[in-house]
Each structure stands twice: as C-alpha cells, then as structure tokens.
Structure 1
C-alpha cells in the first residue's frame, strides 16, 4: 500500500463524518411529509422541484460518500492503489440547479443544496489532486516569468 503525503486516513475520516452529517441533514430536509404546504402556491411544480433537487442532492452526496469509502478501503489495505485509481473515480458533478426551482424551495433548502455542492467540489479537488499525485503545477504567472527570464538571459 502506497500512502500519499497529502491525503491521510485522518483527513478521509474527518470528511467522511462531515459527509454523513450533511447527507443525514439532506435526507431530513427532503422528507416530503408536510413540506409541500410550505413551499408555494403551485403544488405540482413545487413537488417536481422538490423531487428534482432531492435526487440531485442525494446523488451528489452518495457519490462523495462512495469516494470516501473507497479511500477508507485503500487506507485499510482492502484496495490497492491500482484498484482505487481504476475504479475509485468521483463521478462528475450534476448540472447546477435551476434558480427557478431553488426559489420554490425556500432559503434554508437553497443553502443546504449549495453546501452539498461545495462539499462535492472539495472532494472533486481532492480526487483530482490525488490522481495527479499532488503534483504542483506552476501558475501561468510563474511560467511567464520563467520565459521572460530565459529570454532576458539570451540577450
């Protein structure tokens, strides 16, 4: 088992606990019992909006949790790095939610959805960095400075 210096079991466990809490909060928030009366006048559109956002949000969180479970299995020695790289990729994020649908759900629900989007984005950044072995890539500014230095040195 090869461990990377920038991704540790402690980080994965912390993110896993955060993911479980956020997923549980989303599950409770999207519980349909009694929410439709609070949402708005058009019950049919509100019900569709609630269903769409519930599906997007729970899918987003389940993808993040699955990625974290794969990382936990890797650190426990149950998966090799090869297996993890081959099968442990985080699926891409879903398209962003429609502002019209979010408006039907109220500010608390809107904020919860945005929190799950930000959490998924954090996991996606970790996944990308891990896949690149946490390689540092120089920024465009640094590359431009290097080229300028080379050109100035050639004069």
Structure 2
C-alpha cells in the first residue's frame, strides 16, 4: 500500500477568475442584472414618465440626467454580463471577450446624490439608481478577478512569489464578492 500523496508536477494552475465566471454566483448576478434592466425600463416607460411630468424644473432636469445615467449604466453592465455568458457557453474565448469588454465602461457613470433636485426625485428612481450602483460594484469586482493578470497567467515561481498564497488571495476575493451580494 502506497501512503504517498499523489502529485502531478505537470498540472496546470487553477484560475479562479474563470471558474467564478462560470459559477452559480455569476448566474445569480446575470439574472439580477437582467431583471434590473427590465425593471428600470418598465419604470422609466411607465410610472416614471408620469411622475417626471409633475416634478419642478430643477428636479425635472435631475430626473432627465439621472434616468439617462441609469440607462447607460445598466446597458454597459448588461453588455458585460452578455459577454461573460458568451464565454461560459463557449461562443467566444476569454481573450475575445477581454478585447470586446474594453468597449464597455464599468467605471464612471456615477450619480449626483447631493446635486440639486436629487431629494425631489421619485423614490422609485432613487431606489433603482442605488440598486444599479450596487450591481455595478459587484460586476466591477468580478471583472477585476476574471481579467486580472494573476488570474490569466501563471506566475513564475521566484523567491518573492508565493503561488499558494496568490491562490488563497483569489479565493478570498471571490468570497468577498459573494459577501457583497
């Protein structure tokens, strides 16, 4: 009986970013993102349109600005989510998605919560904006994990690097993203 642990010296490192993108966590993020896009579109085309008509001038301008920012933010996030789903389903490689995702803006598109007219905006619009900012944070974190150099390229083992520590760091990042949900 051989009590020695088996170790394959030629095994490839595990890239947690790629695994995370194909996980139940991503599927939940995708579902949440697409549901928020639909919810915002329904609101802006229905109740939001009606509520905007009764706003004072400053709040009306804030409504137009914030609804445009919300729509743009959601469309950028939906594009990113669709790219990742295409990778998961084998329709494109991670490298191709990486090139395409450079066209997607996940940073910026902030909102002026302390700007003129913000407090007069309909509560539902402010809630949708908050939900979209939270979703944007989750997506940006996952984007960083998936597309960071560490998750895509194996490190050369040197005296300063610690491959096991790096893998543990990526696991911690993955759990941190899950905790942000």
Shorter-chain TM-score bucket reads 0.7 to 0.9
For residues 91 and 53 of structure 2, what CA distance do their matches in structure 1 show? Answer: 47
* C-alpha contact (below 8 Å) 2:69/2:111 kept by paired residues: no
* C-alpha contact (below 8 Å) 1:9/1:72 kept by paired residues: no
Q: TM-score, normalised by structure 2?
A: 0.64
**Unaligned stretches of 5+ in structure 2?**
1-14, 153-165, 171-181
How far off is 1:116 after superposition? Answer: 0.7
Give the equivalent residue in structure 1 for 2:33.
Answer: 19
For residues 79 and 45 of structure 1, what CA distance do their matches in structure 2 show? Answer: 46
For residues 101 and 127 of structure 1, what CA distance do their matches in structure 2 show? Answer: 33
**Unaligned stretches of 5+ in structure 1?**
138-155
Write out aligned runs for 1:24-103 (5 A). 24-31=38-45, 32-39=48-55, 42=56, 44-89=57-102, 90-91=104-105, 92-99=107-114, 100-103=116-119
Q: What's the secondary structure of 2:92's corresponding residue?
A: coil
Out of 121-130 and 95-104, give the one that drifted further: 95-104
Q: What's the secondary structure of 2:50's corresponding residue?
A: coil
For residues 9 and 101 of structure 1, what CA distance do their matches in structure 2 show? Answer: 41
For residues 19 and 50 of structure 2, what CA distance do their matches in structure 1 show? Answer: 48
Out of 55-64 and 105-114, give the one that drifted further: 105-114
Q: What's the secondary structure of 2:69's corresponding residue?
A: helix
For residues 59 and 118 of structure 1, what CA distance do their matches in structure 2 show? Answer: 15
The alignment yields a C-alpha RMSD, in angstroms, of: 2.4
Q: What's the secondary structure of 2:111's corresponding residue?
A: coil
How far off is 1:85 after superposition? Answer: 1.6
* C-alpha contact (below 8 Å) 1:85/1:131 kept by paired residues: yes
Cα deviation 1:71-124 (Å, max 9, x = unaligned): 011111111121112222441231332423321213332222111111111101
Q: How many residues align?
A: 133
Q: TM-score, normalised by structure 1?
A: 0.73
Ranked by relative contact order (alpha carbons within 8 Å, sequence separation 6 or more), the top structure is: 2
